């Protein structure tokens, strides 16, 4: 009986403690005056709805045009001068040489079509004391070529080329009847001779700086506008023009059909600041023997000294039986100023 009483008393104490604790946790707290007040923002405010007005922005239209043309111009001037006193024991002769060249190239390329026009003009003279003036260079070369690409490295092309010279050309000799004095004889001049060549065929261009033309259909016209240059002593071949019998004037025009191969290496850098240009042309007439095949090799090696000065070596080897039965050769070394536009 006593145990039951104790257990009931213990349960009563536990329930009372729980009720007292619950009453303490739920005591209401007065929060008046405890509100958090924010300071007024210094930024301006606008009450009400905001209306947005759209602004129309005109589209930007590009007016740039694609230029399919590329042009370049090279101008070179070289001067060579030497002077000696009368008592210069090593010997020598006073001389003055002046030369110049202009190379102009315009190229058009769009998709599979391209066109190139190249004009090379060279002229130079030298004057030695007590001697006649002589030319060191004299050439006009104008080449026009249109291409149509049908594979990665092969093109179908058509070209027209004009080649002649600026000034009169002379052969020099000594006349025994005039105390071995130096004499000159006219052998060439502007368009005497002059060559116009038309060619169609295929061109192989594996890299931008090298190409080979195979002209399966080529025609060349030879012009002789002045027959005074015909000199049997120096022009034995008469430039391929036939001599007429009797008192009739010699032939001044000739047309030939031929097979032509032209290879060109354009300003390839072979060493630091050293560039090589080479052009080889072979002309095989259809109506003549193989001994009348014409060959011409032009080479230019140039090295830049600084931005404006360069050293240049020009060499030409030519075999044309219509002009001379032997190989003709010329070489020129010059130090001068060179300019290229655009740079």
Least confident of 7-16, 156-165, 172-181, 288-297: 7-16
120 — pLDDT class (breaks 50, 70, 90): very high
Q: Which residues pair with 311 in a beta bridge?
A: 303, 335
The long-range contacts involving 139-142, CB below 8 angstroms and separated by at least 24 positions, are 139/163, 139/165, 140/164, 140/165, 140/166, 142/117, 142/118
**What is the radius of gyration, based on Cα positions, of the chain?**
46
Q: Which structure tokens are listed for 126?
A: 């030298």
CATH number for the region 78-165+193-223+255-341 comes to: 2.40.160
Q: Are 211 and 251 in contact, with CB atoms under 8 Å apart?
A: no
> CA 300 to CA 207: how far, in whole Å?
20
Task: Give residue 32's pLDDT.
Answer: 65
Give backbone dihedrals phi and psi of 158, rounded to 5 degrees, phi first.
Answer: -140, 135
Of 186, 187, 78, 183, give the one whose Cα is nearest residue 124: 78
Q: Who wins on pLDDT, 230 or 118?
A: 118
- pLDDT band at residue 3 under the 50/70/90 scheme: low
Mean pLDDT across the chain, nearest whole number? Answer: 83
On the question of pLDDT at 14 being above 80, the answer is no
Q: DSSP string of 50-85?
A: PPP-----PPP--------EEEEEEEEEEEEEE---
Most confidently modeled range among 35-49, 145-159, 305-319: 145-159
Distance CA 31, CA 76 (A): 100
Strand blocks (E) in the chain: 69-82, 95-110, 113-128, 134-149, 154-164, 169-175, 181-188, 194-207, 210-223, 253-271, 274-285, 294-304, 309-319, 328-341
Cα–Cα distance measured from residue 76 to residue 335, given in angstroms and rounded to the nearest whole number: 10
Q: Provide the pLDDT for residue 42.
A: 64
Tell me, what's the pLDDT at 151?
92
b/e code 137-147 from CB counts within 10 Å (16+ = b): bbebbbbebbb
Condensed to tens digits (0 to 9), the pLDDT of residues 236-250 reads 667 877 766 655 667
Q: How far apart are the first and last CA of the chain?
A: 123
pLDDT higher than 80, residue 231: no
How many CA atoms within 13 Å lie on the side-chain side of 192? 21
Most confident of 46-50, 140-144, 184-188: 140-144
* Cα 202 to Cα 62: distance, rounded to the nearest angstrom: 40
Q: Which of 3-7, 210-214, 307-311 has the lowest mean pLDDT?
A: 3-7
Phi, psi dihedrals of residue 21, rounded to the nearest 5°: -65, -40
Q: How far apart, in whole angstroms, are the C-alpha atoms of residue 127 and residue 130?
A: 9
The reported pLDDT for the residue numbered 44 is: 65
Average pLDDT on 141-147 reads 96
Q: What is the DSSP string of 229-241?
A: G--TTT-TTGGGP
Residue 237's closest CA among 250, 226, 247?
250
Give the lowest-confidence range in 38-47, 96-105, 291-300: 38-47
């Amino acid at each position: 009986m006593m145990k039951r009483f104790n257990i009931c008393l213990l349960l009563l104490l536990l329930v009372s403690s729980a009720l007292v604790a619950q009453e303490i946790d739920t005591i209401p707290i007065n929060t008046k005056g405890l509100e958090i007040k924010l300071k007024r923002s210094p930024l301006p405010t606008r009450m009400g709805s905001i209306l947005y007005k759209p602004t129309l922005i005109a589209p930007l239209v590009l007016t740039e045009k694609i230029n399919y043309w590329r042009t370049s111009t090279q101008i070179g001037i070289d001067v060579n001068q030497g002077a000696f006193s009368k008592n210069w024991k090593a010997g020598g002769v006073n001389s003055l040489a002046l030369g110049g060249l202009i190379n102009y190239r315009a190229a058009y390329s769009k998709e599979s079509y391209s066109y190139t026009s190249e004009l090379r003009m060279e002229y130079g003279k030298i004057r030695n004391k007590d001697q006649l003036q002589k030319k060191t260079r004299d050439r006009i070369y104008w080449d026009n070529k249109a291409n149509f690409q049908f594979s990665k490295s092969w093109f179908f092309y058509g070209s027209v080329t004009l080649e002649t010279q600026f000034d009169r050309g002379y052969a020099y000799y000594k006349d025994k009847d005039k105390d071995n004095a130096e004499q000159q004889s006219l052998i060439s001049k502007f368009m005497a001779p002059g060559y116009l060549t038309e060619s169609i065929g295929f061109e192989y261009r594996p890299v931008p700086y090298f190409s080979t033309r195979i002209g399966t259909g080529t025609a060349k016209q030879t012009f002789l506008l002045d027959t005074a240059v015909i000199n049997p002593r120096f022009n034995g071949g008469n430039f391929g023009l036939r001599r007429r019998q009797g008192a009739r004037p010699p032939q001044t025009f000739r047309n030939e059909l031929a097979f032509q191969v032209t290879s060109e290496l354009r300003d390839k850098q072979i060493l630091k600041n050293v560039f090589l240009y080479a052009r080889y042309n072979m002309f095989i007439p259809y109506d003549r023997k193989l001994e009348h095949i014409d060959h011409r090799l032009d080479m230019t090696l140039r090295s830049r000294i600084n931005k404006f000065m360069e050293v240049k070596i020009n060499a030409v080897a030519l075999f044309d039986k219509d002009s001379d039965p032997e190989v003709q050769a010329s070489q020129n070394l010059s130090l001068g100023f060179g300019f290229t536009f655009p740079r």
